[in-house]
């Protein structure tokens, strides 16, 4: 029986299999919630200038984004462990309610601090949904189908990337920015209605003694908040904040990630380290791409945004390509291919910092970066799913997701710090952005080394019996 299964697993499943039977409703619900989180994050960036004009306190402007990110960091490990311990059905309603409560609080906020509270709640719910969705994929779908589902989840950021900014601008300019927070709530209900009837396909929790310590995620959030805030402050005392954040955050992080993560030990620990490095490398460029194109090369924001749109499309297309090869290509090789493309594309973007270099280098480079991310990004959680212990899939996967989110914040924070240092020392903006790109390059070169240590995950060779049993019930 093993040989036919292995042979079948070498062929990527047709896309219709992902939507077949009752599992198809589960897929549709997960995709809808993923698109909702994408839309909300993109709309927020669009409407924040109007929010600031109404509520004032411009000094808190950046915290609207930071607060949600820190809440996500704390929510991911809690939700991941809760899914393993109590089951997806028990966790789904609280995270949806958190997300909806955050939207309601933000929509009715009379002051900027209240809006920040809403963003914290929404970020907690969004982080919980992130961990819950990928935990369901790991527990429910057979290994040969997972790459297809991950590719579809990636594409849920393409359409929002095209329509969310103009939608947010339209809502803010007509009925007001508060309605941009309220509009997603009915969609949450639709997602819940799609997912709930199929949740019996997900193996129930309670089979393992997963520890659910809330202290460590909260302690990590405090430490990370101190570090990332201090990175943008070019003052001697900011070093004290960094030190305090490290002392508070690192011991908590060590409790939440697989043993050996800090040295990228082979296996799950290397997958967590790879997620961290990839996100640093991408965000240290992505966060400052439009700044470079508008302030250094003199483009309008509309022309600069074309590069982001194109890269979003190539990301989705490359994820589709990766999903058809993940079953028969060693995952370290796929991760190396994707990372190499990000390095190559990033070099093209960085070259455009020089005025004599044609702008086509920036556009072509960012297009290649999008393709590389489309290959590398879904490969890492797929490797983690193949290594996860039976009954602990969500806990193990949440460690990788946590390192991913920390990498996002670290890449943007270090890049912002490079620009802040350049400004404080009288150097040009180009020098600061170049520093951010160098940080990205160092992280990506480190990833080229770590990529070889993630488990190859031969098709059908791991993932436990639970996904196969769930697959049989889904037919």
pLDDT at 293 over 80: yes
Residues 6 or more apart whose Cβ sits within 8 Å of residue 8: 144
Q: What is the pTM of this model?
A: 0.83
**pLDDT at site 212:** 62
Q: Residues 218-250: pLDDT tens digits?
A: 999 999 888 887 876 767 788 899 899 999 999
Give the alpha-carbon dihedral of 155, 161, 163, 169, to 10 degrees.
160
Strongest mean pLDDT among 27-36, 39-48, 196-205 = 27-36
Q: Stretch 129-154: mean pLDDT, rounded?
A: 89
pLDDT at 149 over 70: yes
Instruction: Provide the pLDDT confidence category of residue 460 given band limits of 50, 70 and 90.
Output: very low
How many CA atoms are closer than 13 Å to the CA of 242, on its beta-carbon side?
14
**pLDDT at site 467:** 42
CA distance 465 to 154: 26
Region of 161 please: left (phi>0), alpha (psi -120 to 50) or beta.
Answer: alpha
Q: What is the DSSP letter of 262?
A: G
Instruction: Provide the pLDDT confidence category of residue 208 given band limits of 50, 70 and 90.
Output: low
E strands in 183-299: none
Give CA 7 to chain center in angstroms: 33
**pLDDT at site 14:** 83
**pLDDT at site 209:** 61
Nearest to 315 by CA among 473, 152, 193: 152
**pLDDT at site 396:** 86
Per residue in 193-218, is it b (16+ CB within 10 Å) or e — as a string?
A: ebbbebbebbbebeeeebeeeeebbe
Q: Stretch 2-24: mean pLDDT, rounded?
A: 67
Q: Is 64 exposed, middle or buried (0-12, 13-18, 19+ CB in 10 A)?
A: buried
pLDDT at 206 over 60: no
Residues 6 or more apart whose Cβ sits within 8 Å of residue 61: 48, 52
Distances (CA, A) of 342 to 288, 360, 377: 16, 17, 11
- Percent with pLDDT over 70 in the chain: 89
pLDDT at 462 over 70: no
Instruction: Provide the pLDDT confidence category of residue 118 given band limits of 50, 70 and 90.
Output: very high
Q: Residues 315-352: pLDDT tens digits?
A: 989 999 999 898 889 999 999 999 999 999 999 999 99
pLDDT, averaged across the chain: 84
pLDDT at 458 over 70: no
Place of tokens 């310590």: 213
Length of the chain counted residue by residue: 475
Nearest to 404 by CA among 281, 316, 278, 286: 278
**Token pair recorded at residue 459:** 């098709």
Strongest mean pLDDT among 43-57, 96-110, 194-208, 210-224 = 96-110
Strongest mean pLDDT among 16-30, 127-141, 358-372, 421-435 = 358-372
pLDDT at 1 over 60: no
Q: Residues 162-173: pLDDT tens digits?
A: 777 677 778 878
Mean pLDDT is lowest, of 112-121, 140-149, 457-466, for 457-466
Residues 6 or more apart whose Cβ sits within 8 Å of residue 415: 283, 284, 285, 287, 288, 433, 435, 436, 439, 440
pLDDT at 469 over 60: no
**pLDDT at site 243:** 93
CA distance 126 to 36: 10
Q: Stretch 388-400: mean pLDDT, rounded?
A: 83
Mean pLDDT is lowest, of 14-18, 94-98, 315-319, for 14-18
CA distance 406 to 95: 20
**pLDDT at site 106:** 92
pLDDT at 463 over 60: no
CA distance 288 to 300: 15
* 8 Å CB contact between 253 and 269: no
**pLDDT at site 61:** 64
pLDDT at 304 over 80: yes
Instruction: Provide the pLDDT confidence category of residue 211 given band limits of 50, 70 and 90.
Output: low
**Token pair recorded at residue 349:** 């973007």
Q: Can you state the angle between helices 331-351 and 301-323, rounded to 10 degrees?
A: 160
Q: How many Å from the N-terminal Cα to the C-terminal Cα in the chain?
A: 19
**pLDDT at site 247:** 95
Q: Is 112 exposed, middle or buried (0-12, 13-18, 19+ CB in 10 A)?
A: buried
Q: Stretch 382-389: mean pLDDT, rounded?
A: 87
**pLDDT at site 166:** 75
């Amino acid at each position: 029986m093993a040989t036919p299964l292995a042979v079948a697993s070498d062929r990527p499943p047709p896309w219709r299999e992902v939507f077949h039977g009752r599992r198809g409703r589960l897929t549709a619900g997960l995709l809808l919630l993923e698109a909702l989180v994408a839309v909300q994050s993109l709309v927020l960036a669009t409407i924040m200038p109007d929010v600031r004009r109404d509520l004032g306190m411009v000094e808190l402007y950046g915290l609207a984004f930071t607060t949600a990110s820190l809440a996500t960091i704390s929510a991911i490990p809690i939700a991941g462990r809760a899914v393993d311990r109590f089951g997806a059905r028990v966790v789904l309603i609280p995270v949806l309610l958190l997300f909806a409560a955050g939207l309601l609080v933000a929509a009715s906020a009379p002051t900027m601090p209240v809006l920040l509270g809403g963003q914290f709640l929404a970020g907690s719910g969004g982080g919980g949904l992130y961990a819950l969705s990928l935990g369901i994929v790991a527990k429910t779908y057979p290994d040969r189908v997972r790459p297809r589902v991950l590719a579809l989840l990636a594409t849920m950021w393409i359409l929002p990337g095209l329509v969310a900014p103009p939608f947010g601008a339209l809502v803010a300019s007509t009925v007001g920015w508060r309605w941009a927070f309220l509009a997603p709530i009915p969609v949450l209900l639709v997602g819940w209605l799609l997912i709930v009837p199929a949740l019996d396909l997900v193996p129930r929790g309670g089979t393992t003694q997963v520890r659910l310590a809330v202290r460590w995620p909260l302690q990590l959030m405090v430490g990370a908040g101190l570090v990332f805030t201090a990175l943008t402050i070019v003052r001697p005392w900011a070093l004290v904040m960094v030190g305090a954040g490290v002392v508070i955050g690192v011991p908590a992080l060590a409790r939440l990630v697989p043993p050996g993560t800090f040295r990228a030990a082979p296996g799950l620990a290397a997958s967590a380290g790879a997620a961290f490095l990839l996100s640093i490398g991408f965000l240290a460029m992505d966060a400052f791409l439009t700044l470079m194109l508008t302030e250094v090369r003199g483009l309008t924001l509309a022309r600069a945004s074309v590069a982001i749109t194109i890269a979003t499309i190539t990301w989705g297309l490359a994820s589709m390509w990766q999903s058809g090869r993940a079953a028969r290509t060693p995952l370290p090789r796929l991760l190396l291919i994707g990372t190499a493309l990000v390095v190559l594309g990033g070099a093209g973007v960085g070259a455009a910092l020089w005025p004599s270099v044609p702008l086509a280098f920036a556009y072509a480079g960012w297009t290649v970066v999008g393709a590389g991310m489309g290959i590398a990004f879904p490969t890492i959680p797929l490797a983690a799913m193949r290594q996860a212990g039976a009954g602990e899939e969500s806990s193990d996967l949440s460690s990788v997701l946590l390192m991913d989110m920390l990498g996002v914040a670290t890449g943007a924070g270090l890049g912002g710090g490079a620009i802040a240092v350049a400004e404080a020392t009288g150097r040009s903006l180009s020098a600061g952005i170049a520093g951010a790109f160098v940080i990205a390059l160092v992280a990506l070169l480190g990833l080229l080394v770590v990529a070889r240590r993630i488990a190859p995950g031969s098709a059908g060779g791991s993932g436990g019996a639970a996904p196969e049993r769930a697959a049989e019930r889904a037919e």
